[in-house]
Chains A and B, each alone.
Chain A
Amino acid sequence: MRLLGGELRKLVKRPATWITLGIFLGVLVLLFLAVGASYQTIGRAPAGQGGGPEAQAAIRSLLAFPGAYASVASFIGSIGGLFAIVFGASAAGSDWGWGMIRVAVSRGESRGRYILGKLVAVALLLVPGAIAAFVVGVVAVALAATIAGLGTAGMGSPDAVGTLPWLAVRTWLALVEQAAIGFAIATLARSQLAGLGVGIGIYFVESFAAGFWPEWVRYLPFSVVTSLLREPGTAGGVDVNGSAGALASTTVDQTTALLLVLAYLIASAIVSAIALERADITG
């Protein structure tokens, strides 16, 4: 608990934590408001120019409640995943940059315990982060729906509200998995910058590869997040590029997605622990 308290103190007091969250919330609000504001314009535009009733229907599926809850979760899990990579990589990598791994290890702290404690602290701090993003996202999507003239009917639907706790848990797990991947890369590379660069690079390479090998890519760590956050029986959700689209060929069922997300999370933790255990700490 002492170790966890120390790790939480570091993360909470670090300006980068709040800057990352602030930028993400800003992007979240701006994107939903932009989508809401474009709804009427898109409806009037010809289909050949990306407008028309079909495009409007796609926007409606994003903004209209109760399906909008899934849209928000999916957005947090996908675009928010980029920010989670940044958060995870900076938590692990900065300790190398500032020489703090050396300080902890030379005090007799277990290397495995230290790195896992740090990862648990990242995961714990993502709880309020995910809740804040979800609340802000729901408010933003409600505003966007109002601007679009769709209203917020269905927002208080008991069925939809009943699914929110499980949706929130899945969203959090999606963020933790992606943060853990950034964390593991930064630990392996012993660099915050490498963790950010490589993590985000893999994220985009994976979404690019989905266009060529969807059958395989759907099992990869960032694609399974899309499957995990997709509400069964709905077309809701956005893919890792943040665009609504046909997801059937690039998704797996939710149970498989959950198991894969947990597997990637555990694998990232193990890789981080082994990497630190074997590392020569010379910086």
Chain B
Amino acid sequence: MSGAPGPAPLAFATRGLARAYGTTHALVGLDLAVPQGVVYGFLGPNGAGKTTTIRCLLGLIRPDAGTMELFGEPYTARDRHRLEQVGSLVESPAFYPYLSGRDNLRVIGSTGAAPARGRVEEVLELVGLRDRAGDRVGGYSMGMRQRLGIAAALLSDPRLLVLDEPANGLDPAGIVAMRETLRYLAAQGKTVFVSSHILPEVQQLADVVGIIDHGRLVRQGRLDEMLRETGHVRVRVLSADAGPAREALERLAGRDAVWEAAGQGDGDGWITVRVEPSRAGEVNRVLAQAGIYATGLDSGSDLESLFLSLTGNA
């Protein structure tokens, strides 16, 4: 006998989480659900409550109200030892500047869960810092500190990895390497919770996204499903054809799904149609049937548009 599959087990969840700093309400009843084994992109404008949420999770501050769960079990200030299953890089990477990268990892490893023998060298290798591991961290570049921070987060082989702006200071190659590392970790069954402002980076990395604003969750779900909703096709037509093109496209997608961008002064204009990107050919055919030939066409989905529309910053 087989039953229907239950909901995905959660790595971390909050219900009604609230926290104020004086009269400023950073979190106002936040409900998050972070499934296990995914890369979760945690997004929000500055001051939305992202860092406060992470601080509550990591036992750095206590919430004023609400509950949290870690790996399906209730999680309170008394259960802070369970953070041994969590690796984190919060705000900026913190190290002793007078110690080498290797010694920093050793002293960090002396707290919390004990790293396995040889783990320090393993994570140094993983983040590409083994050659510089004997140098004082005070002489490291920001990108090197960031990579060492990721190494420190991985030190105890955590089930949940919490990273706050992990791409900060990384060069393009470093960003690609980090993305591959995080995807690899998720493929190993670990949960990666990434808070970031770099939306294209999150779009390439995350499976599930949560967007918060003013201390509340405004949207949470699978990224591919969200992007389907925000899919669009853009066509470029001669300005003389703009009116008839718009009418034809409105017949296809509806009046509210078509809008025209301001002209670029070169005689052509872009018209955007909110349809799934896979319908680009259909859009082109409709124009051709109306006797209009597009001079340009592109399609795609855009997390940034969704983010801006949800957080009211469009």
Residues of A within 8 A of B (CB): 2-3, 5-7, 9-10, 13-15, 98-100, 102-111, 114, 280-282
Of A5, A6, A104, A107, most buried by chain B (CB within 10 Å of CB) is A107
* Residue among B98, B112, B114 making CB contact with A13, cutoff 8 Å: B98
**A108 adjacent to B86 (CB under 8 Å):** yes
Tell me which residues across on chain A come within 8 A of B224, comparing CB atoms: none
Q: Which among B85, B96, B97, B111 has the greatest number of chain A C-beta atoms within 10 A?
A: B111
Bound CA–CA A60/B149 (angstroms): 59
Question: In whole Å, how far is A282's beta carbon from the nearest beta carbon of chain B?
Answer: 7
Between-chain CB contacts (< 8 Å), 18 pairs = A5-B110, A6-B107, A9-B110, A98-B95, A99-B92, A100-B94, A100-B95, A100-B96, A103-B94, A105-B59, A105-B60, A106-B58, A107-B108, A107-B156, A108-B83, A109-B111, A280-B60, A280-B62
Please give the distance in Å from A216's CB to the nearest CB on chain B: 39
Please state if B60 and A108 are interface contacts (CB–CB under 8 Å). Answer: no
Cβ of B94 to closest chain A Cβ, rounded Å: 3
Q: 1/0 per residue B72-98: CB within 8 Å of A?
A: 000000001111111110111011111
Whether B228 is near chain A, meaning CB under 8 Å from some CB there, is: no
B112 touches A109 (CB 8 A): yes
B99 within 8 A of A: yes
The 10 tightest CB contacts between A and B, nearest first, are A6-B110, A107-B112, A99-B94, A108-B83, A108-B84, A109-B111, A106-B58, A281-B60, A104-B111, A6-B107
With a CB–CB cut-off of 8 A, which chain A residues contact B103?
9, 13
Q: How large is the interface on B (under 10, 10 to 19, 20 to 34, 35 or more residues)?
A: 35 or more
B residues less than 8 Å from A282 (CB atoms): 55, 60-61
Given A10-B107, A280-B61, is A105 in contact with B92 using a C-beta cutoff of 8 Å? no
How far is it, in angstroms, between the C-alpha of A106 and the C-alpha of B109 when the chains are bound? 12
Known A13-B103, A109-B111; further 4 A-B contacts with Cβ < 8 A:
A104-B111, A107-B87, A280-B62, A281-B61
* Docked CA distance A15–B136 (Å): 12
CA distance A114 to B110 in the complex (A): 10
Q: CA of A10 to CA of B97 in the docked complex: distance in angstroms?
A: 11
Asked if A104 contacts B112 (CB within 8 A), the reply is: yes
A residues near B223, Cβ cutoff 8 Å: none
In the bound complex, CA of A108 to CA of B57 (Å): 11
Please state if A110 and B81 are interface contacts (CB–CB under 8 Å).
Answer: yes
CB-nearest residue of chain B to A4: B110
Cross-chain contact A106 with B88 (CB below 8 angstroms)? yes
Docked complex Cα distance between A108 and B82 (Å)? 6
B179 interface residue (CB < 8 Å to A):
no
Q: Give the residues in chain B near A104, CB-CB below 8 Å.
A: 108, 111-112
CA distance A281 to B82 in the complex (A): 18
Given the complex of chains A and B, what is the CA–CA distance between A99 and B58 in angstroms? 14
On chain A, the residues within 8 Å of B87 by CB distance are: 107
| Closest chain A residue, CB of each to CB of B61 | A280
Contact A14 B110 (CB under 8 A): no
Q: Give the docked Cα–Cα distance between A3 and B87 (Å).
A: 18
- Tell me if A10 and B96 are in contact (CB < 8 A): yes
Residues of A within 8 A of B99 (CB): 10, 13
Asked whether B280 is an interface residue with its Cβ less than 8 Å from the other chain, the reply is no
Residue B152 at the chain A interface, CB threshold 8 Å:
yes
Q: How far apart are the CA atoms of A108 and B55 in the complex, in Å?
A: 13
Complex CA–CA separation, A232 to B55 (angstroms): 55
Q: Are B110 and A105 in contact (CB under 8 A)?
A: no
- The answer for the CA separation of A10 and B137 in the assembled complex, in Å, is 13
At the interface, yes or no: B113 with Cβ under 8 Å from chain A?
Answer: yes
Q: Is B183 an interface residue (CB 8 A)?
A: no
A-contact 0/1 string along B173-197, CB 8 Å cutoff: 0000000000000000000000000
**Interface pair B60/A110, CB less than 8 Å apart:** no
B106 within 8 A of A: yes
Bound-state CA distance A1–B111 (Å) is 10
CB-defined contacts of B106 to chain A, threshold 8 Å: 6, 9
B60 contacts which of A3, A5, A98, A106 (Cβ < 8 Å)?
A106
Judging by beta carbons under 8 Å apart, are A106 and B107 in contact?
Answer: no
- Cα A110 to Cα B58 in complex, Å, equals 12
Contacts of B98 in A (CB 8 A): 13-15
Contact, CB under 8 Å: A2 / B83: no
Tell me whether B97 and A98 are in contact (CB under 8 A): yes
List the A side residues contacting B80 at CB < 8 Å.
105, 108, 110-111
Q: How far is the CA of A197 from the CA of B305 in the complex (A)?
A: 52
A7 to B107, CA, bound (A): 7
By beta carbon, the residue of chain A nearest B152 is A103
CB closest chain-B residue, reference A104: B111
Chain A residues, CB < 8 A from B82: 108
Which residues of B are found within 8 Å of A7, using beta-carbon distances? 107, 110
Q: In the assembled complex, which residues on chain B have CB atoms less than 8 Å from the CB atom of A102?
A: 58, 60, 90-91, 94
Q: Which residues from chain B contact A109 at a C-beta distance below 8 Å?
A: 111-112
A106 near B81 (CB under 8 angstroms)?
Answer: no
Q: Which residues of A contact B88 (CB under 8 A)?
A: 106-107
Contact A107 B96 (CB under 8 A): no
Q: Which residues of chain B are within 8 angstroms of A9 by Cβ–Cβ distance?
A: 103, 106-107, 110
Which of B84, B111, B152 touches A6 (beta carbons < 8 Å)? B111
User: Do A108 and B96 form a contact, CB below 8 Å, given A6-B107, A280-B60, A281-B60?
Assistant: no
Query: Smallest distance from the beta carbon of B187 to chain A beta carbons, Å?
Result: 24
Q: Please report the C-alpha to C-alpha distance between residue A103 and residue B148 in the assembled complex, in whole angstroms.
A: 13
Contacts of B112 in A (CB 8 A): 104, 107-109
Q: Which residues of A contact B110 (CB under 8 A)?
A: 2-3, 5-7, 9
Q: Which residue of B lies closest to A100 (CB)?
A: B94
